[in-house]
Amino acid sequence: MEKPALQRKIIHIDMDAFFASVEQHDRPELRGLPLAIGRDVPRGVVSTASYEARPFGVRSAMSIMQAKKRCPGLLIVPPRFGRYKEVSGQIHAIFHEYTDLVEPLSIDEAFLDVTENKKGMGLAIDIARAIKREIYEKTGLTASAGVSYNKFLAKIASDYRKPDGLFLVHPDRALDFVGRLPVEKFWGVGPKTAQTMHGMGIVTGEQLREVSLSHLLQRFGKQGKIYFDFARGIDNRPVVVDHERKSVGCERTFMEDISSKSTVIIELYHTVLELVERLERSGFEGRTLTLKLKWDAMTQITRSITHTKALRTKDEILPLAKRLLSQTEYGSRPVRLMGLSVSSPVHDSDGQKPWQEWVEGYLQFH
């Protein structure tokens, strides 16, 4: 494998079951018990599951109802996003003691480029070990760290020995490491893409490496070039310090299409609640609300509205969401998927007028 002139030193830090771990730290009586962070309501969703709950199959994004069925003794703990942000701030302050090249991915994970670091330390794995130790000393929480020469490999490495893990993918061993990986572990390979690859006889990174670039481009479009590079341990994306979130959203695909107006309204209400929770969690503030409905596998429609101030609460968002829904054909067409998102960060200036509305119309998928 051809090496770049300057080998970067990249660390990916991922907090272990972050929300659940904060609760167990703050409330010792919860330690060692299976718990899920979420709202114990009929349509509640698991934000984070503790490691004690995971052997039962409880995981993030699962419905609370399903999680309780899988783990009858599961404790449901309401989220405290303000507390999680406070702890996240402590953790990110630790990152900046070592480097200012920090790219947050979420409240509980980040990439760090420590090629040139403030401590003058030579080995990235020593820096990762020091960061993990300092996080534990200052917060009482454990983190898992992956170390390599690019973001793709560092990200995979951080998942390799969770929880409280530390794993290095050395440049000299990267090809062997990638070759043994199941394609499901590759960044950007979801269940559908993995299924397509399996149908092509591609199960591991080594098998993916044997496929020509032209064939991957033909089957996966531009994403094919990314898979081609990843299979060779190549990822030239830099750690982006000024990376800024542009939107926060959520969507749900229904097990069966819903048709009645009352059912759609109920689902809209619960989608709004989930969106508000995600906004609280991320700290994002935006002015544009977008509703997405998918009627069938081929057609979806979006409606959007922009306000002069940030949209944060259920009382602010729900009336707008209902207003957007009223502009659609709901009730006369079955709905397969519903989504809501908030975009247009409050500090952006896009020239839109207060309460400006726009319609994208139908988007055809081919």
Contact indicator for 151, 12 with CB cutoff of 8 Å:
yes
CA-nearest of 224, 175, 169 to 204 is 175
Catalytic residue among 23, 52, 103, 109: 109
Distance of CA 319 to the CA centre of its chain: 28
Is position 116 annotated as part of the catalytic site?
A: no
Question: How far is residue 78's CA from residue 193's CA, in Å, rounded to a whole number?
Answer: 35
C-alpha span between 230 and 209 (Å, rounded): 9
Interstrand relation of 35-37 and 75-77 (parallel, antiparallel or unpaired): parallel
The Cα 355–Cα 74 span in angstroms is: 44
DSSP conformation letters of 282-345: HT--EEEEEEEEE-SSSEEEEEEEEEEEEE-SHHHHHHHHHHHHTTS-BTTB-EEEEEEEEEEE
Q: 240, 103 in Cβ contact below 8 A?
A: yes
Strands (E), the chain: 10-15, 35-37, 48-49, 75-77, 102-106, 109-113, 143-148, 166-168, 247-258, 286-294, 299-311, 335-345, 357-364
CA distances from 263 to 157, 289, 332, 363 (A): 44, 21, 13, 24
Three-state DSSP state, 47: coil
Tell me the C-alpha distance between 291 and 161, whole Å. Answer: 39
Q: What is the DSSP letter of 72?
A: T
Active site residues: 109
